[in-house]
Amino acid sequence: MAMLSRVPFQLTGRYAERNKWEVVNGPGDSRPTALEVIEDEGLVRTMSDKVVLITGVSSGIGPETVRAMVSTGATIFATARKLDQAREVLGSSLLENGAVNLLFMDQTDLSSVQACAAEFRQRSDGKLNVLINNASVMKTPEGRTKDGFELQFGTNHLSHFLLFYLLKDLLLSSSTPESHSRVVNVSSSGHRYCPVRFDNLNFEGEYNGWAAYGQSKTAMIYMTNQIERLYGAQGLHGYSLNPGSFVSPNLQKFCQEEMEETKSDERKMKYFVNIQQACATSIYAAVSKDLEGRGALYLEGASVAGPVPPDGDVIEYGYGEWAYDREKEEKLWEISKKLVGVE
């Protein structure tokens, strides 16, 4: 443990001190929860004029992200492929009183994304202040979406890219000088596993589950940065983030061997957070006044992260060497537009 003191600390912001390795102590430690972020921002029941759309709310950090946002008083729309599971995990109290509006979306099918966007437009009165792209799959066996894309790239990146593109006019029109609109992309420290493979986006003939996952999460960062470049001056900002390591049986169903190995590593387990802490960074990105008017930021631990230290390992805070690259961000943007069929 002593050698960790050589690693430069990479986080800045009000919660940065709570993420230092000297004080990190596993799930439920002093690192902030999503509700704590809402309370610290003074936003409990203050956002009744805002509309928030969150994807992937049937498991993982999705349901807790919804619960935290509900506390602000905002109108919440939430998507899921398994609506019955989403209803069960969210509970009747949130759904029956109208606090949360569920929408069906299968992110392996771009026609389903289009249908969901159309339904949202009808039900939201043409308003959208915050889009949280949370849904994800991780290290899946080789597969393809219904549109023929590598499963992780198609689900994690392309479906969210299309959803954003179909709703960006609402995000732009809903922005005000006092409260700019935001797109929050839930990426991962796993983006450091692989850059975008422009020469083989589908990993044809050389599939590797972790590399494909890394590519999809790098793509989400590139999308975020390009949103800022194109629309930041118009009051629409993009943020990408790593929620941290947490236990999610559904997300990690293809990673059981790795999870068992991690449990025997005391240092890694100290970096794990509980679900309430894991969604804190999404909430911070969505609402924090600290971020107002600026974007293209990579966040961890409800803080702004810098580059990962040269001697840092997979558990260290920070973004990878390829996370910021204007040429590749612009290239992927244009490729993604063609792949999903938008102009």
Give the mean pLDDT of 52-72.
96
What pLDDT is attached to residue 253?
Answer: 54
> 47 versus 256: which is more confidently predicted?
47
Beta strand 303-305 pairing with 297-300: antiparallel
In the annotation, is 207 catalytic? no
C-alpha distances out from residue 235 to 45, 180, 221, 284, 295, Å: 24, 5, 19, 18, 10
Q: Residue 275: which pLDDT band, with cuts at 50, 70 and 90?
A: very high
* Confidence at residue 2, expressed as pLDDT on a 0 to 100 scale: 31
pLDDT at site 250? 60
Catalytic choice (58, 179, 187, 240)? 187
Q: How many percent of the chain have pLDDT more than 70?
A: 94
Q: Which of 15, 165, 193, 213 is catalytic?
A: 213
Range of the domain at 90: 2-340
**Catalytic site includes residue 213:** yes
Q: Based on the residue annotation, tell me whether 319 is a catalytic residue of this protein.
A: no
Q: Which of 139, 168, 217, 328 is catalytic?
A: 217
Q: What is the pTM of this model?
A: 0.94
When mean pLDDT is compared across 4-13, 182-191, 292-301, the lowest value belongs to 4-13
**CATH number of the structural domain spanning residue 202:** 3.40.50.720
Residue-wise pLDDT tens digits, 75-91: 999 999 999 999 999 99
If one counts the domains in the chain, the total is 1
**pLDDT for residue 26 is more than 90:** yes
**Contact assessment for residue 195 and residue 218, using Cβ atoms and an 8 Å cutoff:** yes
Structure-token match 């580059």, residue found: 307
